A and B are shown apart, each in its own frame.
Chain A
Amino acid sequence: MSDAIIKTEHLRFAYAAEGGLSPVVLDGVDLEIEEGSFVAVLGHNGSGKSTLAKHMNAILLPTGGKVYVDGMDTCEDADLLDIRRTVGMVFQNPDNQIVANVVEEDVAFAPENLGVPPAEIRKRVDDALAMVGMSEYAAHAPHLLSGGQKQRIAIAGVIAMRPRCVVLDEPTAMLDPIGRDEVLKTIRLLNREYGMTVVLITHHMDEAAQADRLVVMAKGKVIADGSPRQVFQRVEELRAVGLTVPETVELCWELRREGLDVPLDAISDEECAQALYQILK
Chain B
Amino acid sequence: MAENIKLEYIVPGDDFTRAGEASSEVKSMLKKLGLSSSVVRKVAIAMYEGEINMVIHGGGGKINVEISPEKVDMILADQGPGIPNIDLAMQEGWSTAPDEVRNLGFGAGMGLPNMKKYSDEMKIESQVGKGTTVYMTVLVS
Q: Are A and B subunits of one complex?
A: no
